[in-house]
Amino acid sequence: MLTHRESLGIRGLVAVCTPFAGSRYAKYVLGQTLRAFSPTDDTIVLLGRDSSVNSEIVSIFGPFDPHVPDGSVLVGATNVQVPVSGHFRILHAPDTIDAAADAVGLLANRPAGHGEDPVASADDAFGSDDGTTVIDDSPSSDAAPASVSTPTEATAANAPTLAQDHPDILVSAVALVRDRRVLMVRARGRDVLYMPGGKIDDGETAMDAAVREAREEVAVGLVPGTVHQLFTVVTQAHGEPDGRQVRMVVFSGVPDAEPRPSAEVSEVHWVTTADADRCPPAGTEVLKQLAALDLID
């Protein structure tokens, strides 16, 4: 249906994914009708790799689907992970409803696609707001790599929030990877390691913020054409009241110089997942996701 959006005025699709279609229970339900949507079906596999179509999809799924060995991340889509397990519980869980409401509101505010003027990708719209891969603070596993378009239109000013009482803190960060390690920094007077990055200013895109923060904190520019959005993590904000979340959009990029401490940064460190205990919650989730993408050890 998304491939014919020009005539239908479709802005995108919000999909809540349940592992039921690939489970042992599916064989009891309407034969091929349901089982045709198994993740091993040739047509489904082919569609799953169509990033041009997937870029208009917000896919909401649980932390782990044992029936999808390569993970539940849909290539090119905005992938929203909620901390809800089970075949049917995810369909009515409050976390799912909140995520779906955010996604619908986001897509509704985008212009409908019209032939020569296609809609911005869902990950563009979610880029500085809610992100490409939303990871809850609960443990997750088996996340697969996501191929994500570079955000161009999202700004801090148009960001939706899940809780009006505690607006999410919107930040961008840059993952500089070398020899299967990622660069983290320590600020003066602080004992934790965090990603080079900071808050997204009003009117600034997530990518612009990442490029700016890289220069301000580790004194490097990012080579044009090498900056790409990897994922977004959402978790409890470090040092904030319970329930206040940080939404961190993480970008990759190639530095144009050797990173060094700058501004309020006192040290730079090349770390792996073994250093997760030195990081605040968002940093820990970033390490998990980078490892899931096989970028770091």
* DSSP code per residue over 256-276: SS-----TTEEEEEEE-GGGG
- Domain that includes residue 269, residue range: 2-292
* Cα(86)–Cα(68) distance, integer angstroms: 14
Asked if residue 38 is part of any domain, the answer here is yes
Asked if residue 58 is part of any domain, the answer here is yes
Asked if residue 297 is part of any domain, the answer here is no
The mean of the pLDDT values for the chain is 70
Q: pLDDT digits over 107-143, tens only?
A: 776 555 433 232 232 333 333 333 333 333 333 333 3
Output phi, psi for 11, to 5 deg. -90, -25
DSSP codes, 183-236: EEEEETT--S-B-SEEEPPTT--HHHHHHHHHHHHH---B-TT--EEEEEEEEE
Confidence of residue 246 (pLDDT cuts 50, 70, 90): confident
Res. 201: pLDDT tops 70:
yes
CA count, 13 A, side-chain hemisphere, 262? 15
Asked if residue 55 is part of any domain, the answer here is yes
- As for how many domains the chain has, the answer is 1
Q: By mean pLDDT, which of 17-31, 40-54, 173-187 is the weakest?
A: 17-31
Res. 159: pLDDT tops 90:
no
The pTM of this model reads: 0.48
Asked if residue 93 is part of any domain, the answer here is yes
Q: By mean pLDDT, which of 5-9, 138-142, 232-236 is the weakest?
A: 138-142
**In the chain, pLDDT over 90 holds for what percent of residues?**
24
Q: pLDDT digits over 205-217, tens only?
A: 989 999 999 999 9
- Identify the H or E element spanning 96: helix 94-108
Asked if residue 275 is part of any domain, the answer here is yes
Q: pLDDT digits over 49-97, tens only?
A: 555 666 778 888 776 555 454 556 666 678 787 887 666 777 788 888 8
Asked if residue 272 is part of any domain, the answer here is yes
Q: CB 30: neighbour CB atoms within 10 A?
A: 9
CB 181 within 8 Å of CB 296: yes
Residue with tokens 């998990």: 288
Asked if residue 6 is part of any domain, the answer here is yes
> Residue 268 belongs to a domain with what CATH number?
3.90.79.10
